[in-house]
């Protein structure tokens, strides 16, 4: 099976003149060897384009084509290739993109739970981020050589006549009911996507772009009753069920929650070290093209239809994902049981999320006071070590102190190009400098995070009981 690797050279490759010459690159080639036995041709992107790109007759001799680069792309296609998605089949060859292993290694610190305090408002929210590059490169290579199971695209029935859908829900029993919601900013429902284990995908809209209901109130009430009944009789398959069910239960009094299969929980049980958004699961477990950039809050009929089609694709994707997750899980002893146990927690955690957790108010006040005193004392120590007052949460002030005044080399930059001062950058500096101020900054950030988490507004009412504020204990909504 001859493989063509189209490669954007990394910094090591440029300096040595040899592709994949770094330690990360050698690991990458070993991963490829497991599938193609070393029978491959490696071309730089420039050399590939010089040969005529995909118009070259030589392309027909390859069965698999892997695009490897910083931001995987092939200019002759005209668009960026989302990593992990098979976007073209050329003369029978599979084409897939993945990350350059060395570039991935260089930027593996970029996705971090810690925030540098930079403005995130200009981020591309549709991008599928990958922090665990090693895992995803392995997944992409495996998918290139082992196509995922497919099925003919089912019918997408958008804004269907509601009576047949209602009747279908009432008849569905002891099966899987796939469900996905799209909401406005105020959690009003744009639409609900539904499907069974086979058959068409339904998109049932609630509110249209112009503010009108999509159906009569009587039709929606009958549908809602049937959906609650079907939810109890079947296993609900949802991705990130704690969001969808929380919205449906809290906002719309949905009570049809019995058995739940959450594809996100299953993904976490199978690969706890990897990202688990629906886009990541689609890339790993299906052959579907990338569509997660099609979401829109509709302002006109065209955008409205785009959202409905998007919703149908999400539901269809979940159907393919659940099947593939189970197929893979069955190969590992105990994995299916682990997924089942994880999904059994959805209902009790959902109840806790809606009711809240009981809070000991006196102990909470004591913990808040304690955390505040710890932060104050740590700031006193930090200011004594630095020589002036500095905000440990400000990446600008820390950057000036660490990189301008002390002259430390910048371990790496943030995605927006600023000098990083997140926790991994600080640990990197600490290993090299043993500066006690950095230790205090790390302790202070943890203390501030704890103090912030304790300062929540307790909820003193349960359900919709108007007397709850005087007769019910204090809770925290989680």
Flag whether pLDDT at 79 surpasses 80: no
d(CA 409, CA 239): 43
- Whether 87 has a pLDDT exceeding 80, the answer reads no
Q: Does the pLDDT value for residue 147 go beyond 80?
A: yes
Q: Looking at the predicted structure, is the pLDDT value of residue 272 above 80? A: yes
Q: Determine the pLDDT at residue 459.
A: 66
Burial of 322 (0-12, 13-18, 19+ CB in 10 A): buried
Distances from the Cα of 99 to the Cα of 5, 143, 292, angstroms? 12, 14, 19
Q: Quick check: 324 pLDDT over 60?
A: yes
- More confident site: 400 or 63: 400
Q: Which residues are CB-contacts of 323 (< 8 A; sequence separation ≥ 6)? A: 149
Q: Which residues contact 247 (CB under 8 A, 6 or more apart)?
A: 181, 183, 187
Percent of the chain with pLDDT over 90: 56
Q: Which of 102, 96, 81, 82 is nearest to 142 (CA)?
A: 96
The answer to whether residue 1 scores a pLDDT higher than 60 is no
Whether residue 179 contacts residue 223, with contact meaning beta carbons closer than 8 Å, is answered with no
Give the contacts of 433 (CB within 8 A, at least 6 positions apart): 406, 408
Residues in the chain: 478
Between CA 137 and CA 103 the distance in angstroms is 12
CA distance 270 to 464: 39
pLDDT value at position 334? 95
Q: Does residue 209 surpass a pLDDT of 60?
A: yes
What separation in angstroms does the CA of 58 have from each of 20, 53, 66, 202? Answer: 23, 9, 15, 44
* 3-state SS class at 9: coil
SS3 176: strand
Per DSSP, what are the bridge partners of residue 195? 178, 201
What does the block give as tokens for 276?
A: 């688990």
pLDDT at position 472 over 50: no
CB 116, CB 414: distance < 8 Å? yes
Q: Averaged over 303-330, what is the pLDDT?
A: 97
Contact indicator for 447, 371 with CB cutoff of 8 Å: yes
Instruction: Locate the DSSP E strands across 100-175.
Output: 156-158
Query: Which is more confident, 452 or 81?
Result: 452
- What distances in angstroms separate CA 68 from CA 3, 71, 84, 292, 366, one per listed residue? 13, 8, 11, 22, 54
Report the chain's mean pLDDT, rounded to a whole number.
85
pLDDT at residue 474 is higher than 60: no
Question: What whole-number distance in Å separates Cα of residue 202 and Cα of residue 464?
Answer: 33
- Give this prediction's pTM: 0.76
User: Per-residue pLDDT tens for 249-260?
Assistant: 988 999 999 999
CA–CA dist 105, 23 (Å, integer): 10
Whether the Cβ atoms of residue 160 and residue 51 lie closer than 8 Å to each other:
no
Residue 453, pLDDT > 50, answer yes
């Amino acid at each position: 099976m001859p493989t063509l690797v189209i490669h954007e050279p990394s910094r090591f490759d440029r300096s040595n003149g040899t592709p994949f010459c770094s330690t990360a690159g050698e690991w990458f080639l070993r991963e490829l060897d497991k599938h193609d036995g070393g029978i491959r041709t490696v071309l730089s992107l420039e050399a590939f384009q010089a040969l005529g790109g995909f118009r070259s007759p030589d392309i027909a001799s390859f069965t698999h084509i892997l695009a490897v680069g910083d931001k995987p792309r092939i200019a002759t296609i005209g668009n960026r290739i989302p990593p992990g998605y098979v976007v073209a089949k050329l003369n029978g060859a599979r084409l897939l993109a993945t990350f350059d292993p060395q570039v991935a290694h260089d930027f593996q610190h970029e996705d971090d739970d810690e925030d540098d305090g930079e403005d995130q408002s200009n981020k591309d929210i549709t991008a599928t981020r990958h922090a665990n590059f090693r895992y995803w490169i392995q997944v992409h290579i495996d998918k290139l050589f082992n196509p995922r199971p497919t099925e003919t695209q089912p019918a997408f029935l958008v804004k269907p006549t509601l009576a047949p859908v209602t009747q279908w829900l009432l008849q569905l029993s002891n099966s899987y009911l796939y469900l996905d919601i799209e909401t406005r900013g105020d959690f009003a429902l744009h639409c609900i996507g539904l499907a069974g284990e086979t058959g068409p995908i339904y998109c049932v809209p609630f509110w249209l772009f112009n503010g009108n209901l999509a159906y009569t109130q009587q039709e929606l009430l009958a549908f809602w009753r049937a959906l609650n009944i079907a939810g109890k009789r079947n296993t609900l398959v949802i991705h990130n069920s704690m969001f969808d069910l929380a919205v449906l239960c809290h906002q719309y009094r949905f009570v049809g929650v019995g058995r739940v299969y959450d594809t996100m929980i299953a993904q976490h049980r199978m690969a706890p070290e990897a990202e688990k958004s629906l886009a990541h699961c689609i890339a790993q477990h299906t052959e579907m093209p990338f569509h997660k950039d099609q979401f829109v809050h509709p302002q006109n009929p065209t955008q409205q239809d785009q959202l409905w089609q998007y919703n149908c694709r999400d539901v269809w994707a979940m159907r393919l994902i659940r099947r593939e997750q189970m197929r893979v899980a069955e190969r590992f002893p105990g994995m299916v049981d682990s997924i089942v146990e994880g999904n059994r927690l959805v209902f009790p955690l959902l109840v806790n999320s809606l009711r809240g957790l009981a809070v000991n108010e006196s102990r909470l006040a004591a913990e808040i006071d304690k955390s505040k005193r710890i932060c104050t004392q740590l700031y006193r120590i930090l200011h004594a070590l630095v020589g002036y007052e500095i905000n440990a949460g400000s990446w600008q002030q820390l950057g000036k102190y660490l990189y301008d005044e002390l002259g430390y080399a910048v371990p790496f930059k943030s995605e927006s190009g600023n000098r990083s001062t997140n926790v991994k950058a600080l640990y990197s500096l600490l290993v090299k400098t043993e500066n006690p101020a950095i230790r205090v900054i790390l302790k202070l950030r943890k203390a501030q995070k704890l103090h912030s988490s304790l300062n929540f507004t307790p909820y003193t009412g349960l359900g919709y009981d108007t007397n709850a504020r005087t007769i019910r204990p204090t809770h925290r909504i989680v």
